[in-house]
Amino acid sequence: MKLFEVKTGTPVLVHNSAVHYDVERKELKRTMVFELEDVRIDPVGVVGCHRGFERTIGGAYAKAGYYGFAWKHYTILVSMDKVEVL
């Protein structure tokens, strides 16, 4: 099982899917661990939205080097160099 860890204090972008186009800059208050099925945007592979979808918003974030993880009704966008793959 592939896990993705994002540490406390990491700057992230948070997209609230209930409010379209609302993206906020935040810092994580706790370490979060995501599973493979939580990946919505994948900058290096083909899980979820990836670079091949560059004409979409998710594809643009993937091309810019962001992972997108599902959490509740949010998408947490994290720079790929801040994500540790376990």
Q: Name the token pair of 54.
A: 């560059």
Q: What is the mean pLDDT of residues 62-76?
A: 93
List, for residues 12-44, the tens digit of each pLDDT value: 999 987 777 788 999 999 999 999 999 999 998
DSSP string spanning 27-47? E-SS-EEEEGGGEEE-SSSSS
Kind and range of the H or E run holding 62: helix 57-63
Q: Name the token pair of 49.
A: 């939205």
> Whole domain around residue 58: which residue ranges?
3-85
Percent of the chain with pLDDT over 90: 63
Query: How many domains is the chain partitioned into structurally?
Result: 1
pLDDT of res. 13: 96
Query: What is the pLDDT of the chain when averaged over all its residues?
Result: 90
Output the pTM of the full model.
Answer: 0.89
Which pairs count as long-range contacts for 27-32, CB under 8 Å and 24+ apart, including other chains? 31/5, 31/6, 31/7, 32/5, 32/6, 32/69, 32/71, 32/76
Total count of residues recorded for the chain = 86
Q: What is the mean pLDDT of residues 74-82?
A: 96
pLDDT of res. 33: 98
Q: What is the mean pLDDT of residues 67-72?
A: 94
